[in-house]
Amino acid sequence: SQLNIGVVVGSARRDAFSKKAAEELVSYLPESYQVKFLKIEQLELFNQDYDDDGTTPESWKTFREEVKGMDAYIFVTPEYNRSIPPVLKNALDIASRPYGQNCWSGKPGAVVSVSPGATGAFGANHHLRQVLTFLNIYTMQQPEVYLSNVGDLLDDNGNFIEGTKGFIKSAAEAYTDWVSKFKR
């Protein structure tokens, strides 16, 4: 049976390395996985008033329904100032509310962090894990996926080099295994 996999990329940048990494990862998932990249950059900045006074933006409503409809998630994020980018935090917050209506809850997930720098967006990876814990997403622990010096992991055609493909493929297999442990 089909599984709906929601991919959330923490960058709206046209040529985002994190989007490239996400596309590579999902290319190794089974055919029964229906992969959807969840768009987040159009979401109005969270303000609790909009829910409290009944002016909830349409974009939030649509996004919350989308998130609820997924069976599992994959988060691929860059690092901004040693944390996650605001566009990603905003999306996580929006679908976690109103209070008691956390749309993320009870689903498996995985975290991939990507950086052109040496530290592999470790700070973002672990700040994200902290948030996902509270959102009650069952985050895969191993393998941890830090793609550091990502510029060096891409060849002249913009494709990941063989070693990195192998690593990302093994992460995709571990994720498939992880997702299979959870009942729907």
Query: Which region among 11-19, 23-31, 98-106, 152-160 touches ligand FNR (by CB under 6 A)?
Result: 11-19
Here's the x/- map for ligand FNR, 66-85, by CB under 6 A: it reads as ------------xxxxx---
- Long-range Cβ contacts of 161-167 (<8 Å, 24+ apart): 165/24
Question: Please, what is the Cα angle at 112 between 165 and 133, to 5 degrees?
Answer: 150
d(CA 76, CA 31): 20
**Binder to ligand FNR among 3, 8, 11, 164 (CB under 6 A)?**
11
- Cβ closer to ligand FNR: 17 or 138? 17
Q: Which of residues 36 and 82 has its CB atom nearest to ligand FNR in the complex?
A: 82
Rank residues 63 and 146 by Cβ distance to ligand FNR and give the closer one.
Answer: 146
CB of 115 to ligand FNR, least distance (A): 4
With 0-12 / 13-18 / 19 or more C-beta atoms within 10 angstroms meaning exposed / middle / buried, residue 15 is exposed
- SS3 string of 147-167? ECCHHHHECCCCCECHHHHHH
Cα separation, 127 vs 62, whole angstroms: 26
Among 26, 121, 131, 135, binds ligand FNR (CB under 6 A): 121
- Quote the Cα angle for 53-59-63, to 5°: 110
Residue 29 or residue 114: which is nearer to ligand FNR going by CB? 114
* 3-state secondary structure at position 13: coil
Task: For the CB of residue 117, give the shortest distance to ligand FNR in the complex, in Å.
Answer: 4
Does 117 interact with ligand FNR (rule: CB under 6 A)? yes
* Nearest distance from C-beta of residue 2 to ligand FNR, angstroms: 29
What residues make contact with ligand FNR under the rule CB under 6 A? 11, 13, 16-18, 78-82, 114-117, 119, 121
